[in-house]
Structure 1
Amino acid sequence: MITSPLMTALIVVAPVMCLIIAGVVFKRVGLMNDAFVEGGSKLVYNISLPALLFNSIYTADFSTAANPTLILTSVIGTIVFVLLAMVFAQVNIRERVDRGVVIQGAYRSNIGIVGLALSANAYPSFFATASVFMACTTLIYNLLAVLLLNFYSIKQYSIKDNLIALVKNPIILSIVLALSASYFELTLPSVAEVSLAYFAQLTLPLALLCTGASLQLFAMKTEVAPMIFANIGKCIAYPAVILGSGYFLGLDSVAMGILFLMSASPTAAASYIMAKKTNNNPVLAANIVVTTTIVAIPIMMLSLIILLQYGIIAPAEAL
C-alpha cells in the first residue's frame, strides 16, 4: 500500500518532472527546436509569468498574500548560506573565477518555474503567498549573484547597471502592481481579467516544457569537483540551511512546505545567463544547471517523504 508521504511526494513532484522530461523528448524528436525554446522562454519571462503572478495576487486577500516571516526566512537563510559557501569555496575551489559560479549555482533555485509549479501542486490555496515569496526571493537571489560574480570576476562590471536591470524585471514589476491593486482594492475590466487568466494558464506547462528542452542547449563538459560541490550545496546544504532558518523563526508546516519546495528546486537557468554576461565560466554554470536538474528531483522526492513523515511540512492539499 502506498503511504501518505510517498503519495504526496508523487502528486507534488511527478507532474512537474513529467513535463520537464516531455520537453527533453519533444526537443529530441523535433517537436520543439531552439527557436521555439528561446521564443517560448521569452514569452514566459516577459508576459505569461508576470500575468500569472499578477492574477494570483490581485485576486487574493492582501492581508494573506504576503508572509513577512517566510520572506525573512529566505533572506536570512540565503545570506547565511552564501557566507558559509564563500568560506568553503575559498578553501576547496582552486580557480577564483569558478567560486562565484559554484556558490550561485548552489543557492539560486529555479523558483520562478519549478518551485512555483511544485508549490501550486502542493498548496494551491496558498499560491499568492508563494508568488510574493518568489518575487522577494528573486530580488535577493539576483542581488547576491551580481555582488558574487562581480567580486570573483577578473574584470569588474557595473553593479549599478545590473541593479537598474533588476528593478526593471517584469516579474518584480508585476508583483508590485498586483500588491498595489490588491491593497487599494482596484477592479480591472472583465476583459482584462479574462485575458490575464488566459496568459496565466499558459505559463507553467510552457515554462516546464522549455526548461526540459533547454537542457539540450548546454554542452556537458567535465568539471567534476566544482559540479559536485554545487550539487551538494543545491540539493542538500542550501535546503537544510533554509529549513533550519524557518524552524528557528517558527514557521508553520505549510510555510515550511513552500520554503522546502522552492529552495530544493534545481539551479535556475538564469545563473548560466548571468555567468555568461560577466564572463565567469559559463560552461561550468551550464553544467551545474543540467546536473542539478537531473539530481535534485530524486533527492527532493526522498527529502519530501522524510519531512512529511516527521510532520515538518504539511501534506499536499490534494490528499
Structure 2
Amino acid sequence: MDLLAVFSQTLQVTLPVFAMVFLGILFKRIGWIDAHFISTASALVFRATMPTLIFLSIVRADLDVALQPGLIVYFLGFSVLSFFLAWGWAIWRCPFADRGVFAQGAFRGNCGIVGLALAASQYGDYGLSLGSIMAGGIIIVYNVLAAIILAYYSANARSGLGSILKHVARNPLILSVLLAMPFAYFQVPLPEWLMTSGDYFGAMSLPLALVCIGGTLSFSSVKQSSGPALDASLWKIVWIPLLGVLGAYALGYRGRELGMLFLFLGTPGAAASFVMAKAVNANAKLAANIIVITTFASLFTLSAGVFILTIAGWI
C-alpha cells in the first residue's frame, strides 16, 4: 500500500474542513468579519440553511442504504456511555463546581457542523445522508444529558433545565430530520425548482458555519488553558473515539460505517457547550478552553485516525 497516497487522501478529507476554520480566524484578525457578523451568520445557519441542507440530503437519500439502525443505536448508546465515563472521571479529578462543564466538554462533539462536513468530504451524498440522521439523534442526546449534568452542579439548576429542554424540542436541526423522514420513506416528489433553490441555500451552511467557528476561536485561550481543559480535551478527541471505534470493530463494523462513526466521535467540542455553561452560570472559561483546544488539535487527531484506520484496512 502506498503510504504517501493514503496520507494524501486523508488530508483531502480533513484539510478542506479545517481550512474554512482557519479562514475564519484570518478574517476575524484582519477585520473582515466581527462579532455581529458571526452572531447573525450563526443564527442563519442554525435556523435556516443547515436545516435545509439536512432536509434535502435525507429526502434524496436511499433509506435502505443510508439508514443504518444498528450503527445509529451503537453511536447513540456509546455516546451515553461516554457521558457517564467522563462524569466519573470528573468526580475523581475535578472540583465540584467544574464537574458538569468538564463532563459536557469531554463527551459533546460538534457533529452538526464539523461531523457533517467531514462525512460529506469523505463519503459524499452517502455520508451527508447518514450523517444527517446521526446528527439529528445525537443533538437530542447531547442537549438532554448536558442540561442534566449542568443543572445538577449549578445553583441555577431548576430555571436553567426547563428552558434548555424547551430549546431541545424546538431545535431546527431535529425538526428538519423528523420532517424529512416521511418525504424520503414515501418518496414524495418535490418541484425541481424548489430542490435547486434549496441546494443553493443549503450549500452555504457548512462553509459559513466553519468560518464562524474560526472567528470565535482565540489562541490566547490555549495559552491560558488549565489542567481540566487539557484533560477533557484528551477525552473528547482521543479516548472516546478510540474506545468507540474499538467497540464497533469488535461488533463487526467495517468500511464506511466504521469511518462515519470515527469521524463523528472524533469531532471537536461543540460551540453550544459554551452557551449552555454560560446560561447556568457555570465555568464558561473552562468550556471555551475545551472548545479551542479540541478544535485545533482535532485537525491532527482526525487526520491521524483516518490514516491509521485506512492503513489497517478497517475503513
Equivalenced residues, count: 312
| 2:21–2:214 Cα contact (<8 Å) kept | yes
Deviation of 1:252 (Å): 2.8
| 1:5–1:304 Cα contact (<8 Å) kept | no
Deviation of 1:118 (Å): 0.8
Q: Give the direction of change, closer, same or farther, for the CA distance of 1:61–1:97 in structure 2 (3 Å limit).
A: same
1:85 equivalent in alignment to 2:90: no
Alignment of 1:7-26 (within 5 A): 7-26=8-27
| 1:114–1:208 Cα contact (<8 Å) kept | yes
Cα distance in 1 between the residues matched to 2:219 and 2:299: 20
Give the residue type in structure 2 aligned to 1:118.
Answer: L
Cα distance in 2 between the residues matched to 1:140 and 1:246: 19
Deviation of 1:65 (Å): 3.1
Cα distance in 1 between the residues matched to 2:247 and 2:201: 35
SS of the equivalent of 2:282 reads: coil
1:41 equivalent in alignment to 2:52: no
**Unaligned stretches of 5+ residues in structure 1:** 314-319
Deviation of 1:244 (Å): 2.6
Name the structure 2 match of 1:239. Answer: 241
Cα distance in 2 between the residues matched to 1:119 and 1:216: 26
SS of the equivalent of 1:236 reads: helix
SS of the equivalent of 2:296 reads: helix
Kindly provide the CA deviation profile for residues 205-225 of structure 1, in whole angstroms up to 9, marking residues without a partner as x: 111111111114986673521
Q: Give the direction of change, closer, same or farther, for the CA distance of 1:264–1:115 in structure 2 (3 Å limit).
A: same
TM norm structure 2: 0.94
Kindly provide the CA deviation profile for residues 161-196 of structure 1, in whole angstroms up to 9, marking residues without a partner as x: 322221110000001111111112222233322221
Name the structure 2 match of 1:264. Answer: 266
Kindly provide the CA deviation profile for residues 31-56 of structure 1, in whole angstroms up to 9, marking residues without a partner as x: 11111111111111110000000010
| 1:81–1:241 Cα contact (<8 Å) kept | no
Cα distance in 2 between the residues matched to 1:176 and 1:119: 20
Kindly provide the CA deviation profile for residues 43-89 of structure 1, in whole angstroms up to 9, marking residues without a partner as x: 11110000000010011123233211111111221122121222211
Give the residue type in structure 2 aligned to 1:79.
Answer: V
Name the structure 2 match of 1:165. Answer: 167
Q: Give the direction of change, closer, same or farther, for the CA distance of 1:98–1:223 in structure 2 (3 Å limit).
A: farther
Name the structure 2 match of 1:97. Answer: 97
Name the structure 2 match of 1:31. Answer: 32
Cα distance in 2 between the residues matched to 1:252 and 1:312: 6
Cα distance in 1 between the residues matched to 2:100 and 2:239: 17
Name the structure 2 match of 1:148. Answer: 149
| 2:45–2:205 Cα contact (<8 Å) kept | yes
Deviation of 1:300 (Å): 1.7
Kindly provide the CA deviation profile for residues 221-261 of structure 1, in whole angstroms up to 9, marking residues without a partner as x: 73521111111101111111221332233223201101111
Name the structure 2 match of 1:254. Answer: 256
Name the structure 1 match of 2:303. Answer: 301
| 1:71–1:137 Cα contact (<8 Å) kept | no
Runs of 4+ in 1 over 3 A off after TM superposition: 158-161, 216-223
Cα distance in 2 between the residues matched to 1:252 and 1:295: 26
TM norm structure 1: 0.92
Give the residue type in structure 1 aligned to 2:85.
Answer: L
Give the residue type in structure 1 aligned to 2:84.
Answer: L
SS of the equivalent of 1:303 reads: helix
Give the residue type in structure 1 aligned to 2:111.
Answer: I
Name the structure 2 match of 1:317. Answer: none
Name the structure 2 match of 1:196. Answer: 198
Deviation of 1:286 (Å): 0.8
1:119 equivalent in alignment to 2:99: no
1:75 equivalent in alignment to 2:89: no
Give the residue type in structure 2 aligned to 1:248.
Answer: A
Name the structure 1 match of 2:106. Answer: 106
> Root-mean-square deviation (CA), in Å?
1.8
% identical aligned pairs: 36
SS of the equivalent of 2:203 reads: helix
